[in-house]
C-alpha cells in the first residue's frame, strides 16, 4: 500500500503534570511534547515523540528530535509514496534518534491504518481487548508521602506498583510498602541506571521482598555487568534503557543480562521494532511489558494496543491519563477495574481534540515534502 505524504507538521505542546515526577535522573513538573502530524493521500496520521526536554534518560531530547526530523528524517521520505514497512528501511542509514524515527513511522502507520479502517491493535496482533495497568511512583521526600501515594493508586485500581529507586531511597521504601500493603501486591522497582556493579551486595537486600523485577539497575551500556549482577541477585533483572533494538534484545537474552524486557516503542525506533522484540522475547520465554514516557493520549493509545499482544504477560506502565495530566489532549484514558480498553477505532482510535490541543500548543512548524 502506497501513501503519498504531502507534508508533516511538528507541533510542540506544554503539558503541566498533576504532581512533580522524580526519578534518579531528575525532577519533571511539566511535559514538553513533540507531536507529529503527517498529511497524506490516505488522510492525516498522528504520533507523539517520547523524547524529554533534556538528554538524561537517554541521549535524545525534544529540540534535537525536532531538528533531526526537520533536517534529515522527513526530507528522506520519497515524494511518490511509500508503505509503512519502508519507513524503517529509509531511516535506517541515519544512526540513533530512535524516538524521532518512531514518531515519524507511527504517524505514517496511523494514516495508513485510518485509510483502510483498521485499528493499531488489530494490525499489531492484539490478543485481548483490555490490558491490566501498573503505575510508576516517583521518589518522594518522605516515607509517609510515599505510602499515601501508593495507597491512592491502589485505591484507583492499579494492579501493580513500580517504585522509582536510587542510592539512599531503595531498601527502606520497598520494605515499608511491602509491609503496609502485603505480600499479594505486585511490586517492582526501577533504578534508571543509578547503580554500579560495586552495589551488588547492597542490592541483594531487595531479594527479601519478593519483587517482580528490578529495572535497569546499571548504566545503559553495561550489558556484561548486568549479566554478572543477574548471577548475584534472586530478583529478576529487567532492562529498559539498554535495549534499543531487537538485536540488543537478542544479545541481552543470550548473555543472561536480563530475564524480562520493558518495551518502549519510542526507545526502540517504533511499533514494528517493538513487535520484533516481543516476538524474539516470546520465542525465548522472556516476559515483556510496555513502558511509558509520560505520554499524552496519542502515545498512550498506541502503547495500550501494543500491550495487548500475547507476550505482554506483565502489567505495563500504561496508566490512565489522569496519572499525569489533569486534562489530556484526547478523550482521556480512564481505568476500569484496573484495566484500560484497547482502542478499536481506525488507526490510533483517538485524535487530539482541537480546542484542547490549541490551548497547550507552544509552536507549530510545517515541513513540506
The footprint of Mg ion (CB under 5 A) covers 190, 215, 240
Q: Does 320 bind ligand NPQ (CB under 6 A)?
A: no
Distance CA 318, CA 7 (A): 31
Binding segment for ligand NPQ (CB under 6 A), chosen from 68-76, 202-210, 285-293, 356-364, is 285-293
Please give the full DSSP string across 128-166, using - where no structure is assigned. -SEEEBEEEE---SSHHHHHHHHHHHHHHT-SEEEEE-B
Query: Does the annotation mark 101 as catalytic?
Result: no
Of 3, 23, 40, 280, the one binding ligand NPQ by CB under 6 A? 23
Please state the closest distance from residue 164 (CB atom) to ligand NPQ, in A: 6
Contact 308, 282 (CB under 8 A): no
Kindly state the cell numbers that stand for 291. 513502558
Kindly state the cell numbers that stand for 29. 513538573
Question: How many CB atoms within 10 Å of residue 62?
Answer: 21
Q: Does 291 bind ligand NPQ (CB under 6 A)?
A: yes
Q: Does 48 bind ligand NPQ (CB under 6 A)?
A: no
Distance CA 354, CA 147 (A): 38
Which residue among 2, 4, 79, 264 is the active-site one? Answer: 264
Strand partners, 12: 34, 363
Binding segment for ligand NPQ (CB under 6 A), chosen from 103-111, 197-205, 288-296, 336-344, is 288-296
In this structure, the dihedral spanned by the alpha carbons of residues 117, 122, 128 and 133, taken in order and rounded to 10 degrees, is -80
Please state the closest distance from residue 215 (CB atom) to ligand NPQ, in A: 7
Which residue among 4, 164, 205, 231 is the active-site one? Answer: 164
Please state the closest distance from residue 216 (CB atom) to Mg ion, in A: 5
Query: Does the annotation mark 264 as catalytic?
Result: yes
Q: Does 57 bind ligand NPQ (CB under 6 A)?
A: yes
Distance CA 27, CA 108 (A): 33
Distance CA 64, CA 99 (A): 10
Nearer to Mg ion, 110 or 215 (CB): 215
- Looking from the CA of 126 toward its CB, the CA atoms found within 13 Å total 22
Please state the closest distance from residue 92 (CB atom) to ligand NPQ, in A: 25
Of 105, 244, 248, 317, the one binding ligand NPQ by CB under 6 A? 317
Catalytic positions: 164, 264
- Residues in the site for ligand NPQ, rule: CB under 6 A? 21, 23, 28, 31, 52, 57, 136, 190, 192, 240, 291-294, 317
Amino acid at each position: 500500500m502506497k501513501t503519498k505524504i504531502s507534508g508533516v507538521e511538528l507541533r510542540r505542546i506544554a503539558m503541566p503534570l498533576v504532581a512533580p515526577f522524580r526519578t534518579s535522573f531528575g525532577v519533571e513538573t511539566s511535559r514538553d511534547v513533540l507531536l507529529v502530524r503527517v498529511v497524506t493521500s490516505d488522510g492525516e496520521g498522528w504520533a507523539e515523540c517520547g523524547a524529554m526536554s533534556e538528554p538524561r534518560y537517554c541521549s535524545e531530547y525534544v529540540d534535537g528530535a525536532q531538528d533531526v526530523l526537520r533536517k534529515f528524517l522527513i526530507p528522506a521520505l520519497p515524494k511518490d509514496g511509500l508503505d509503512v514497512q519502508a519507513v524503517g528501511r529509509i531511516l535506517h542509514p541515519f544512526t540513533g534518534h530512535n524516538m524521532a524515527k518512531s514518531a515519524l513511522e507511527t504517524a505514517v502507520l496511523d494514516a495508513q491504518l485510518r485509510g483502510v479502517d483498521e485499528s493499531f491493535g488489530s494490525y499489531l496482533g492484539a490478543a485481548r481487548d483490555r490490558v491490566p495497568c501498573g503505575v510508576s511512583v516517583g521518589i518522594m521526600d518522605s516515607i509517609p508521602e510515599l505510602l499515601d501515594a501508593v495507597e491512592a493508586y491502589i485505591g484507583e485500581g492499579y494492579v501493580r506498583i513500580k517504585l522509582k529507586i536510587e542510592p539512599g531511597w531503595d531498601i527502606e521504601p520497598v520494605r515499608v510498602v511491602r509491609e503496609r500493603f502485603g505480600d499479594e501486591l505486585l511490586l517492582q522497582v526501577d533504578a534508571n541506571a543509578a547503580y554500579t556493579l560495586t552495589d551488588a551486595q547492597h542490592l541483594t537486600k531487595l531479594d527479601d521482598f519478593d519483587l517482580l523485577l528490578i529495572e535497569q539497575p546499571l548504566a545503559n551500556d553495561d550489558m556484561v555487568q548486568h549479566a554478572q549482577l543477574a548471577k548475584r541477585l534472586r530478583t529478576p533483572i529487567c532492562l529498559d534503557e539498554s535495549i534499543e533494538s531487537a538485536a540488543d534484545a537478542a544479545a541481552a537474552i543470550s548473555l543472561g543480562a536480563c530475564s524480562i524486557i520493558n518495551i518502549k516503542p519510542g526507545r526502540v525506533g517504533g511499533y514494528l521494532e517493538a513487535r520484533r522484540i516481543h516476538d524474539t522475547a516470546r520465542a525465548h520465554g522472556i516476559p515483556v511489558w510496555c513502558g511509558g514516557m509520560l505520554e499524552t493520549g496519542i502515545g498512550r493509545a498506541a502503547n495500550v494496543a501494543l500491550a495487548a499482544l500475547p507476550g505482554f504477560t506483565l502489567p505495563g506502565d500504561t496508566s490512565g491519563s489522569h496519572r499525569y495530566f489533569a486534562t489530556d489532549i484526547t478523550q482521556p484514558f480512564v481505568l476500569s477495574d484496573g484495566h484500560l480498553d484497547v482502542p478499536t477505532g481506525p488507526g490510533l482510535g483517538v485524535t487530539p481534540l482541537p480546542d484542547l490541543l490549541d490551548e497547550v500548543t507552544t509552536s507549530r512548524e510545517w515541513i513540506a515534502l
